[in-house]
Amino acid sequence: MSPLHPTILPGATIGVLGSGQLGRMFALAARELGYRIFIYSPDNDTPAGQIGDQEFVHAYTELDKIREFAQQVQVVTFEFENVHSDSTSAAAEFAPVRPDGRVLHTTQNRLREKTFLEGNGFPVTPFRRINSLADLQAAVQDLGLPAVLKTADFGYDGKGQVKITAVDQLDSAWRAMNGAEGIYEAYVSFEKEVSVVAARTLKGEFAAFPVFENAHANHILDITFAPAAINPQLAREAAELASGILKKLDVVGLLTVEMFVTKDGRLLVNELAPRTHNSGHLTIDACVTSQFEQQVRAVCGLPLGSTELRRPAAMANLLGDLWQNGEPNWAAALEDPFVKLHLYGKAEARAGRKMGHLTATGDTTEEAVRRVTEARQRLLRR
Ligand code: AMP
């Protein structure tokens, strides 16, 4: 580490922008390593704030508050990417922001992100910028149907996106955008979805976790397992893609690359997230180093930890829907001693809200998936 960038050692304070479950699990990992954690978000008694040493409750747009926060920490990272670059710039006046605001700026807008990827030769599905109904009609001419129309900004978990299969849907699809800028993407008829969570340090040291395979339900991640059921050559390609992207973006910290595996066995990048990822939660129980510890190490300038998977593993998300008929039966889920429960401390269980997850390990991924799925079903036992 150069004198300009001293290693941020345990005992120092890490600031986190954002206060959800990713921040909570990051804070838990940071505390294990002996760091202090300050959390900044507009909310009170948050999943991350419950673990942190201090919770700063202000809007992300209150730049003076962000500056005050940054003055009290040695490094700032984030767990939520919809923070405006003005806020990260304000923080950067007083503490390094990792990954830096440029990475955030590129990845928080789907058009900027896909343009960056395409411009640097990373494989993506063909896309067009949409600012009018005429743009949309032209895109259909160019790229054909089916397609997915997404808002360029602030989309996650399938929010702000619609699949278009016929030209008579164009009017209503455009109206649903409410004048927001959009991206039209050729529909990928994929075999499966995978992700690579990877870390990079200031010195350029790089480490990727094994490829995760992801199954979604209603556009929300449902089950992840590792290692992904893909051939070793494709797994290497996925890690190389991630390595190329982190290097090109000059990421210091973590970045997740969500990818499609096409029916003819190619990889296409769907989305980047400059942070830990829901698909990486199984690393807590199944890898030598969790994605959260890796984020701590990467942003503090410590050497990266091994990403080795100790055993095949599977993770199942627990959405608020599970609370529909009362508190889930936690004891029943844990009847299998290879199942681990993680709850995020959220008071209100709303449908579709990520409340926690279960992880199971096994001798094979099939066994891990079966265990975690059965454990989740047992939650509903009365
Ligand atoms: P996103 O918000 O971009 O991550 O999209 C959420 C989910 O929608 C993805 O995980 C895919 O299952 C699906 N999806 C997104 N874009 C496409 C596409 N171009 N073709 C097919 N499916 C897509």
CATH code (residue 276): 3.30.470.20
195 within ligand 1 shell (Cβ under 6 A) = no
Mean of the pLDDT values across residues 355-377?
Answer: 98
Q: How far is CA 125 from the centre of its chain?
A: 20
Contacts 24+ apart (CB under 8 A), 214-222: 214/258, 214/279, 216/158, 218/158, 218/352, 219/157, 219/158, 219/159, 219/161, 220/157, 220/158, 220/317, 220/319, 220/352, 220/354, 221/157, 221/278, 221/279, 221/317, 222/316, 222/317
- DSSP annotation of 307 reads -
Determine the pLDDT at residue 156: 59
Give residue 251 CA to ligand 1 midpoint distance, Å.
Answer: 24
Of 3-17, 21-35, 344-358, give the lowest mean pLDDT range.
Answer: 3-17
- Are 147 and 216 members of one domain? no
Domain of 149, in residue numbers = 126-186
- Are 293 and 306 members of one domain? yes
- Are 64 and 151 members of one domain? no
**Of the residues 141, 157, 186, the one at which a domain ends:** 186
- Are 174 and 223 members of one domain? no
74 within ligand 1 shell (Cβ under 6 A) = no
By the 8 A CB rule, do 218 and 158 touch?
Answer: yes
196-206 residue pLDDT tens: 999 999 999 99
Closest CA to ligand 1's atom 5: 158
305-331 residue pLDDT tens: 999 999 999 999 999 999 999 999 999
**Of the residues 186, 207, 234, the one at which a domain ends:** 186
- Are 220 and 296 members of one domain? yes
Determine the pLDDT at residue 1: 47
Residue 4 has pLDDT above 80, yes or no: no
Residue 247 in any domain: the answer is yes
Residue 121 in any domain: the answer is no
Give residue 158 CA to ligand 1 midpoint distance, Å.
Answer: 7
- DSSP annotation of 255 reads E
Determine the pLDDT at residue 5: 78
Determine the pLDDT at residue 203: 95
Residue 97 has pLDDT above 90, yes or no: yes
Residue 54 in any domain: the answer is yes
270 within ligand 1 shell (Cβ under 6 A) = yes
Task: State the CATH number of the domain containing residue 29.
Answer: 3.40.50.20
pTM of the predicted model as reported, rounded to 2 decimal places:
0.97
| H-run or E-run covering 261 | strand 253-262
User: Quick one: pLDDT band at residue 72, thresholds 50, 70, 90?
Assistant: very high
Residue 363 in any domain: the answer is yes
| H-run or E-run covering 90 | helix 85-92
Residue 109 in any domain: the answer is no
Residue 6 in any domain: the answer is no
- Are 332 and 201 members of one domain? yes
- Are 165 and 63 members of one domain? no
- Are 173 and 209 members of one domain? no
187 within ligand 1 shell (Cβ under 6 A) = yes
Residue 1 in any domain: the answer is no
User: Quick one: pLDDT band at residue 81, thresholds 50, 70, 90?
Assistant: confident
Average pLDDT value over all residues in the chain: 96
User: Quick one: pLDDT band at residue 80, thresholds 50, 70, 90?
Assistant: confident
214-271 residue pLDDT tens: 999 998 999 999 999 999 999 999 999 999 999 999 999 999 999 999 999 999 999 9
Determine the pLDDT at residue 158: 61
Q: Which atom of ligand 1 sits closest to the CA of residue 110?
A: 3
- Angle, CA 258 vertex, CA 310 and CA 290 arms, to 5°: 30
d(CA 183, CA 161): 9
By the 8 A CB rule, do 290 and 298 touch?
Answer: no
Residue 326 in any domain: the answer is yes
- Are 303 and 234 members of one domain? yes
- Are 56 and 162 members of one domain? no
- Is there a cis peptide before residue 10, judged by omega within 30 degrees of 0? no
**Of the residues 145, 160, 186, the one at which a domain ends:** 186
Mean of the pLDDT values across residues 55-60?
Answer: 97
Determine the pLDDT at residue 152: 95
Task: Please give the full DSSP string across 311-369, using - where no structure is assigned.
Answer: S-EEEEEEEGGGGTTSS--HHHHTTSTTEEEEE---S---TT-EEEEEEEE-SSHHHHH
Determine the pLDDT at residue 353: 97
| Total domain count, the chain | 3
Determine the pLDDT at residue 66: 98
Single out the residue of 362, 256, 269, 272 nearest to residue 309, CA to CA: 362
- Are 170 and 319 members of one domain? no
d(CA 272, CA 117): 10
User: Quick one: pLDDT band at residue 3, thresholds 50, 70, 90?
Assistant: low
216 within ligand 1 shell (Cβ under 6 A) = yes
- Are 90 and 211 members of one domain? no
Task: State the CATH number of the domain containing residue 143.
Answer: 3.30.1490.20
